[in-house]
Amino acid sequence: MTAQASLSLQGDTLIVAGVLDHESVLSLEAQGATWLADTAPATCYADLTQVSYSSSAGIALLLSWLRHAQQQHKTLRLRPLPTKLAGLVRLSGLDEVFGPLIAEAKAPPAKA
């Protein structure tokens, strides 16, 4: 699978798009960790609705970001996960970890 993924910021939300696999998550992890450490607000969001494919590397990415947020005393909430990624969460037995962090479905705030 060709690793094509991107991150963009919209207010308090980190928007993840494209393919999450072992090739793409390395740079995404570093970018997200930097945002969490430097500029993310106390409560922030990761929107994964634009993820087209995720291997288990996507779960590792989210766990890493959650750990970074916790180290920064921040709360990272997840926008509803795409169906296949949610399936990986269930399959890996991480419902209890991710369940409380999934924010209610709402679009990120519009740019002014």
pLDDT in tens, 48-87: 999 999 998 999 999 999 999 999 999 999 887 787 888 8
Would you say the pTM of this structure is higher than 0.75?
yes
The pLDDT value recorded for residue 82 is 80
Inter-axis angle of helices 83-91 and 56-71, nearest 10:
80
pLDDT in tens, 46-57: 999 999 999 989
Q: Tokens representing 110?
A: 């519009």
The pLDDT value recorded for residue 13 is 95
Q: Tokens representing 83?
A: 């169906």
Could you tell me the residue ranges of all domains in the chain? 44-104
